[in-house]
Structure 1
Amino acid sequence: MEHRDSPSSPAAKKQSLGFRIFKGFLYSLFFAVILILTLSIGAAGVVAGYVASLVKDQPVLSKADFEKKLTGWSQNSQAFFRDGQLIGQLRGDENRKIVTAEQVSPYLIKAFIATEDQQFYEHHGVVPKALFRAALQQVMHSSVTTGGSTITQQVVKNTILQDQSQTHERKAREIFIALRMEKMFSKKDILNAYLNSTYYGKDPNGRNMLGVEAAAKGIFDVSAKDLNLAQAAYIAGMVQRPNAYNPFFADDGSTLKAGKERMKVVLDRMLKTHKITKQEYDQALAFNLQASLAKPKPSAYEKYRYVMDAVEKQAAEALMKVDGLDPAQLRKQGKYWATMEEYRKRVLTGGYHIETTLDKNLLDTMEQTTNRIKFAPPANIRVKVGPKGNRKWVVKKNQLQQVGATLIDVKTGALLAFVGGRETKVNHALDYPRQPGSTIKPLLDYGPALDLGLITPETKIKDEELKAADGTGKTYKNANKKYAGDVTAREALAKSLNIPAIKVFRMVGKERAFSYLEKMGFRFHPYDGEASAIGGLTYGFTVQRMTAGYAALANHGQFNEPYMIQKIIDSSGKVVYEHKQKPVQVYSPNAAYTTTDMLRDVIKNGTGKLIGQRIRGYDIAGKSGTTQNQYDVWFIGYSPRVALGVWVGYDYNKKMYNDTVAKEAWATYFKAIMQSDPNLQPKGERFVALGVQ
C-alpha cells in the first residue's frame, strides 16, 4: 500500500513550504516581467502584445480621462438658513467632503507616508522591491505584512479600477496605470486624490465615510486639519482594513482595541522614519483616544426632515430650470419624476452650498407651537383600499389630525417657515393638495369681479335658492342651509355665503375667472366648473399655493411665485442658480386693496372673528374655509408684511367636528411668530392703498 504523508507530517510541511517558496518566486517573477516590459522603451512591441493582453479590458486613458476620475468627486451638499446658519448635510449613503493636502493636519500626511509609501516622493508609481516582498509575504501567509502597493497604486485601485480583487490581471492593470498616471500628474495631485478616495467604514450614524475629511468628522468630530497626532495615526492605520479598525464597527470594543494597536504600529513607523520626535510619540500614546471619539447625533433629517426633503426637491427643480427644463411641462409629458430623480441625485452628490429663505427661529417657533395646539385625539378611520372593482374596507388605526402651515413674505414670495405635519411622511404644507373650500372665494370670485369693475363692496346680491348651470337640477346651498336675501358683496364674503359667490363667479365667467388663478400657477382641471367658486375643484391646492395667492392681495395685486431656494453654489464656488423675482400683476392695486378691506370684515364680524378676538394690535385680513363634507378646514390670513396659511384635516377623509381648529391654530401660530420676531410685522402698521399715504 502506497504511503502518503499526512498534511501535518514534517515531510508534508517541508513539501508545502517548498511549494510556497516556488510559488512566491513565480509570482514575483510575474510582476518583474510586467515591470521590465512596461518600463522598457525598446519593448514597445512586446508591451503592446503581452501587457495589452493582461489589460485588454482596461481602456488606455488620456489625461482628460484621468482628470475626470481624479477630480470628479461626488460630495455631499449642504443646506443653510437665510442667515447663513447650517441646516444640515443632505442625505446620502456616503459622507464625503473634498480637501487638499494643505487643508489637513501635517501629522496625517506624515502618517500616510511613513505607513503606506515611504518612497512616495522618489518612485515613479511602483516600488519593485516592496512589490516583490509583499508578493512573497502573501504566498507564504506571513503573519507580518508590509504592503506592496504605493499610494499611487492605491489611488488607481480606488478611483480608476474600483476593483478590490486579488487577481494577477487586476494587479497588472494597476501597475500599468500607476506608471502612466505618474507621468501625467504631480505628486501633489496624486496625494490629493488619495486623501479623498480612501474608504473608512461607517460613522456612528451609519453613513459610509469616504475621504479623510469625512473620516475625521465621523470618527473624532473634528476637521481633518485639526487632527492631533494620535487621531491622525489612527486614521492612517485604518486604510488597509477599515472595518477591522473602525471603532464603531463592533459593540464590544474589539475593533477599537485593534485600531489602537494598529495606531501604535503607525506611530512606530513615524518615529523610525523621523517624522515625529520621541516626545511626540510618547504624548500620542498617552492620549485618551476613546474619550475623543465622535458621539452619535441626530442628523438634519431627524430634526428638519420636512425641510431637507423640500430642499432636495426644490433645489433639483432649480437645476432643471438652469438646464432649460420646465417642471410644469415635464409633468404634462409624463417625464417629471424620472427627471426629478436624476436631478435629485445631482443635488445630493454635487457638493452644493444651498442657501434657503427659511428662518431658523421662525421654523423652530412654528414647530414648537404645533405641539401646543389642541388637535382632536387620534382616530380610527375606515377606508377603502385596493384596485378599483376589488376594493375592501380596512381600518387605519390611531390616525393623527394633521396640519399644514406656511409663512410667506408678501413682498418677495419667500417661504420663511412652514409646518409639514405631525409624525407623517407627507408634507401637508408644500406637497399635499386639498380642496380649498371657501378660501378660494377672494381669489377666484370677488377679486376678479372687483378687478373687472363688475361689483363694488356695496353691490347688492340676492342670497336665494340657486340651481346649477349644468342642467343636473342640483341646487346650491349655504353652509347653514338658509338664505339671507339681499346682501352686499362685503357682507356675503364676511359671512362666506355660497350663493352670492357663485353669482359673482357667473358675472366674471369661467374662463376669465380661472385666468386669474392661472397667472398665479394654480393647477386646475379643464372640466372644473362653477362649483369651483365655492371650493369644489378636481385637484385642490397646496397650503403654500393658497397662501401665496393671498400674499398677492397684500402686495398690491402683484403675485410672486413662492420659493425656498435663494441660491445654489457649486463645489468650486461658482453660483449656478440664484432666484430672480418675476412679479406678475394679477389684480389691480385698487382691486387688491378693496378685496383686502372686505377680508378685514371677515376678521371683525365674519367667520374669522375668533382671530380678531385673539389677535390685537395688528391689521389682519383673511378667510376661513370648510369643504362640503367638512374633511378640510382652513384659515388663510395676512398682514401688510406676511401671509400665513393653515390647513387641518386627516390623511384619509374624515369629518372634522370642530371646524374652528384651523382658526385656533392660525391665531396660536401668529401670536407665537410675532413674539418670536416682533420686527417681522410691527404693530400698528396698516394696509394702504397704492398711492395713498
Structure 2
Amino acid sequence: MRKFVLLVVTICATGVVLAGSLVALVPSAGELASSVHAQAQEIDLAALDDFAVRSRVYASDGSLLATLHGPENREPVPLSRVPQPVIDAILAVEDANFYRHNGVDFRAIGRALSENVAAGGVEQGGSTITQQLVKNALLRDSSRDLDRKTKEIPLALRLEQQLSKDEILEKYLNAVYFGSGAYGVQAAAETYWGVDVEQLGYAEGALLAALISNPVQYDPIRHPERAYEQRRAALERLVSLGTISQEDATRYGSAPLPVDRCSTGTPRPAGCRDEIELPPPDDYFVENVKQQLLDDPRLGATRDERIERVFGGGLRIYTTLDPRMQFAAELAHAQGVPKNDKGVTAAMVTVENSTGAVRALVGGPGYDSYKYDIATHPPGQPTGSAFKVFTLLTALEQGNQPNDTIGGGGAFKCPGCSKNPYVVSGAGGTLTSVTARSSNGAFVRLAQVLGIPNVVETARKLGVTSELPPVPALTLGPREITPLEMASAVSAIPNSGVRMPPYFIERVEDRDGKVLLEHESAGEQAVSERSACYARDILQEVVKSGTGTRARLSRQPAGGKTGTAEENFDAWFVGFTPYFTTAVWMGNPDQDISMANLGGVANFGGTYPAMLWRAFNEAVHADRPVGTFPPCPKPDRAGRPVVGRGDNALNGVRIGPDGKPIFGTVPGSGTSRSTTTTTTTTPSSSSTSSPPATTSPEPGPPPGNGPPPSTPGPSGG
C-alpha cells in the first residue's frame, strides 16, 4: 500500500512539474521568442569561462615542476583535441540530439517523465548539454525544481543563439565533473589513465560518459562493479544509435577499469600509462614558490583572493630551478650524508652569482617526510666560522689588505657576558693566513678592532636579517642564519661586490598569456669591488691550502669558508665558483646533536659539508667552460697591522693626534711589528705568509673519493 501511495504521489508531483514546464516551454513560437527576450538578455560569455583552472609551475628549461589546484583540477583543451569516440559516448548518454535541437529537447523531457514514473521517483531531468552548461556555469544551481527550469531554459535558448554547437560542446567538456577532483576531459584522462585526452577511445569515453550522472557511485576505483555496468550501458547506447557494433561494444566492455588515481607523481601508480609527464610530488622548491605567490599582494588584496588565483586561476608560473642542477644536488645530498642514527641530515641551496636566481634547493631529508625547509625558513642554523666572511669583508672595507696582520687570541672584555673576560685561543697572522686557518682568536680580536657593530652592518648590507647582538663571540657564528641568506650573501664576493637578492620566480602569466608578475634585476653594491676581489682571493686560499681543501674542484677555481658551531652541533661549507654560490649545512635540525663521531670521523665544516659541496659542483660544472676571475688591484703599500674603526689598541696600534695610526706591538702574535719591519714584506694580494704562529695547523688532504680522515681538521673549521 505504501509503495502504491508513493507511486501516485510521484506521478502527480512529476506531472505537475512537467505540466508547469510544458506551460513554460510550449507556447507558440512567437510567445517563446518573446519569453527568451524577456527573461534572458545577452549572456556575458566570459561567465562561461569563470571556473577554476589549475595553475602550472615550470622549471627554467620549460619542464613541468608541479600543478597547483584546489578542489577543482581542470585543464581546458580545445574541442579539436578531444577524440571522436569520447564525444560520441558522452553525447550518446547525455544528449543524443545535441546537434539537432535548439538548446531544449522536448522529446527528452517527455522521455524523462516516463522514466521517472516507472522508477517511482525523479531519476532523469531531460536536460540538454546546453542546459547543463547553463546550470553549472551561469546558474550554479543543482536543484531539480521548476523555478530553476524556468530560468535555465530561456538562457539555454539564448546561448544557442550566441555560440555555435561546437563552442558549447567544448565549454561543456571542459566544465563537467568526472569525479576524483577531475573537472573536464583532460583532467579526467590524466586522473584515471595517466594520458592526454587524445589517447582515449570508446572504452574510456564510455566510462567518462557513465561517470557524469553520478561520479561518486560509479567511481571505478571504489565501486568497480557499478562502474562496469554503467560503462556497459553507455556502450549499449552507442550500439542502439548505430555508432558502434555489438561486437565492438563487447570488446570495449571487457577492457580493464582504472585501479588507481594517476594524477600523482612518482612512482607512477600501477595501471597508469606514461604517455604524459606527470608532475612530481610537492617539494621544497615548489613550496617556496607557492608561499611567495600567496604573500604577493599583486595577485589579490586578501589571502583568500590570492589562494583562489594561485590554485584556480590557470596561472603559468616560470621559475628559476635548473632540473639538471637539482638532480645533482639531490644526488650529492643522498650520497654525501653518512648513514647515522643521530638524525643528522643536510640542507643546501645554490644561487647564480650574476642574477640571484635560485637554481637548486634541498631543504632537508625529504619533503614527503620532513616538510620544514631548513634551507630557507628562518631563523636558520648557527653558522660557526662561516660568519667570519663578514668580518673579513669589514676589514677590507675599512682599507685593510690581504697581507695586513692581526694578533691572535687572548682575554677580551665582554660586558654583560656570563664569562668576563671572554677568553679565546688561536694564532694571529695575515688576513689571508688567519682566514685559511680559521683562527678563532685572530677573528675575535679582528672584529673588535674593526668595531663589532660595523661587522653587523656589513652582514646587513649582504642580506642577513637574523638578530646579531654585538658581542665578541659574534664573529664565531653563534647566531642562526639560513643557508639561503648565507649563499646569497657570499655570492656578492665572486660578483664584484654586487649582491643580487635571491629569487625563485621569473614571471607569472594568467591563462590568456598576460604577464602578471616579472622579476626585475635589483642588484646592489653591498661592498666595494676592491674588497670583494681581495676577499675572493683570500677565500680561494681556504680551498687551496686551508680548512676547505676537500672542496677543491678539478677544473674550476673555487673559494669558500668552512664553519663548525659549538660542540660540532652544526657544520657548514659556503663556497663559490665563477658561476654559482652554494651553501651546505649539516646537523640535526630538531635538537643539538654532536657530530664529533659521524660516519667514523669528527664532522667539521671542512669534512662532510665540503665533500658534499665538491660532489655537487663537480657534477654541475662538468660541461661548463673553465671560469676565471678578474685580477685584483695590486696593494698600494706593504703589509702592516690591521687598522679599524674600533679598538685599535687591541692590535698594537695607537691613533695619533692627527688621526693617523701609530704602529707598535701586535698582541697575541709574539712578534713586534713596526712600520720599519713591515716595509720589508713583499706585497701580494693573496699572500699566505704569516708571522710565527703558536700552533701549526694540519692541512686537509687533497680532494678525492675516499673517506675523510679520522683526525679533525684545523681549529675553527
Which of 358, 379, 385 does residue 438 from structure 1 map onto?
A: 385
- Superposed displacement of residue 352, structure 1: 2.2
Deviations 1:109-133 (A, max 9, x none): 3333333223334434322342243
Distance change >3 Å, CA 19–CA 496, structure 1 → 2: closer
Contact 2:210 2:234 in 1 (8 A): yes
Contact 2:586 2:609 in 1 (8 A): no
Deviations 1:314-351 (A, max 9, x none): 4445x54577x9xxxxxxxxxxxx74x65354222222
Amino acid of the residue matched to residue 263 of structure 1?
Answer: A
Amino acid of the residue matched to residue 362 of structure 1?
Answer: M
RMSD: 3.5
**Hey, what's the Cα distance between the residues in 2 that align with 1:578 and 1:371?**
34
Which of 279, 299, 304 does residue 265 from structure 2 map onto?
A: 299
Distance change >3 Å, CA 45–CA 112, structure 1 → 2: closer
**Hey, what's the Cα distance between the residues in 2 that align with 1:118 and 1:511?**
79
Give matches, 1:238-637, under 5 Å.
238-250=211-223, 253-271=224-242, 276=243, 278=245, 282-283=247-248, 285-287=250-252, 290-291=255-256, 293=258, 296=261, 298-299=264-265, 303=281, 305-316=283-294, 320=297, 339=303, 342-375=305-338, 377-379=340-342, 400-422=343-365, 423-432=369-378, 433-442=380-389, 444-468=390-414, 474-478=420-424, 482-484=425-427, 486-510=428-452, 512-525=454-467, 531-537=473-479, 540-612=480-552, 615-637=553-575
**More divergent stretch after superposition (184-193 vs 630-639):** 184-193
Which of 43, 65, 68 does residue 63 from structure 1 map onto?
A: 43
- Superposed displacement of residue 675, structure 1: 4.9
**Hey, what's the Cα distance between the residues in 1 that align with 2:423 and 2:166?**
78
**Hey, what's the Cα distance between the residues in 2 that align with 1:136 and 1:363?**
62
**More divergent stretch after superposition (349-358 vs 15-24):** 15-24
Which of 177, 189, 196 does residue 199 from structure 1 map onto?
A: 177
Contact 1:108 1:233 in 2 (8 A): yes
Distance change >3 Å, CA 239–CA 508, structure 1 → 2: same
Distance change >3 Å, CA 451–CA 222, structure 1 → 2: same
Would you say 1:225 and 2:198 are equivalent positions? yes
Contact 1:20 1:140 in 2 (8 A): no
Query: How many residues align structurally?
Result: 612
Would you say 1:123 and 2:66 are equivalent positions? no
Identity percentage of aligned residues: 26
Distance change >3 Å, CA 526–CA 617, structure 1 → 2: closer
Contact 1:37 1:46 in 2 (8 A): no
- Name whichever structure is richer in helix by fraction: 1
- Superposed displacement of residue 415, structure 1: 1.8
**More divergent stretch after superposition (80-89 vs 444-453):** 80-89
Distance change >3 Å, CA 40–CA 550, structure 1 → 2: same
**Hey, what's the Cα distance between the residues in 1 that align with 2:622 and 2:468?**
43
Distance change >3 Å, CA 130–CA 686, structure 1 → 2: closer
Amino acid of the residue matched to residue 265 of structure 2?
Answer: S
Distance change >3 Å, CA 111–CA 594, structure 1 → 2: same
Equivalent residue, structure 2, for 1:654: 592
Deviations 1:273-322 (A, max 9, x none): xxx364xx6445424763484755552776552232123224445x5457
Amino acid of the residue matched to residue 589 of structure 2?
Answer: D
Distance change >3 Å, CA 34–CA 511, structure 1 → 2: farther
Amino acid of the residue matched to residue 403 of structure 2?
Answer: P
Deviations 1:50-79 (A, max 9, x none): x9xxxxxxxx88733xx3431122222222
Deviations 1:73-100 (A, max 9, x none): 2222222222222223235443210123
Contact 1:362 1:416 in 2 (8 A): yes
Distance change >3 Å, CA 569–CA 428, structure 1 → 2: same
- Superposed displacement of residue 227, structure 1: 2.2
Distance change >3 Å, CA 139–CA 47, structure 1 → 2: farther
Amino acid of the residue matched to residue 492 of structure 2?
Answer: A
- Superposed displacement of residue 138, structure 1: 2.0
- Superposed displacement of residue 32, structure 1: 1.9
Equivalent residue, structure 1, for 2:700: none
Distance change >3 Å, CA 374–CA 524, structure 1 → 2: closer
Amino acid of the residue matched to residue 178 of structure 1?
Answer: A
- Superposed displacement of residue 364, structure 1: 2.1
- Superposed displacement of residue 451, structure 1: 2.2
Contact 1:420 1:427 in 2 (8 A): yes
**Hey, what's the Cα distance between the residues in 2 that align with 1:536 and 1:374?**
23
Partner SS state of residue 465, structure 1: strand
Equivalent residue, structure 1, for 2:21: 31
Would you say 1:234 and 2:180 are equivalent positions? no
**Unaligned 5+ runs, structure 1:** 1-5, 52-59, 203-207, 326-337, 380-399
- Superposed displacement of residue 269, structure 1: 4.5
Distance change >3 Å, CA 611–CA 199, structure 1 → 2: same
Distance change >3 Å, CA 675–CA 492, structure 1 → 2: closer
- Superposed displacement of residue 176, structure 1: 4.8
Deviations 1:585-632 (A, max 9, x none): 2122221121122222322343323434xx545422111112335432
Amino acid of the residue matched to residue 564 of structure 1?
Answer: F
Distance change >3 Å, CA 145–CA 285, structure 1 → 2: farther
**Unaligned 5+ runs, structure 2:** 267-278, 597-601, 635-717
- Superposed displacement of residue 636, structure 1: 0.8
Contact 1:20 1:139 in 2 (8 A): yes
Partner SS state of residue 213, structure 2: coil
Amino acid of the residue matched to residue 631 of structure 1?
Answer: F
Equivalent residue, structure 2, for 1:57: none
Amino acid of the residue matched to residue 130 of structure 1?
Answer: A
Contact 1:37 1:47 in 2 (8 A): no
Amino acid of the residue matched to residue 75 of structure 1?
Answer: V
Would you say 1:210 and 2:183 are equivalent positions? yes
**Hey, what's the Cα distance between the residues in 2 that align with 1:307 and 1:31?**
56
Give matches, 1:140-155, under 5 Å.
140-141=118-119, 147-155=125-133
Deviations 1:157-180 (A, max 9, x none): 222333333344344443354345
Amino acid of the residue matched to residue 63 of structure 1?
Answer: I
- Superposed displacement of residue 417, structure 1: 1.4
Distance change >3 Å, CA 177–CA 629, structure 1 → 2: farther
TM (norm. structure 1) is 0.78
- Superposed displacement of residue 419, structure 1: 1.4
Deviations 1:26-59 (A, max 9, x none): 22112123335898759989999xx9xxxxxxxx
Partner SS state of residue 458, structure 2: helix
Deviations 1:407-460 (A, max 9, x none): 222222222212111141111122242222221221x21112202314543233
Partner SS state of residue 577, structure 1: strand
- Superposed displacement of residue 667, structure 1: 3.9
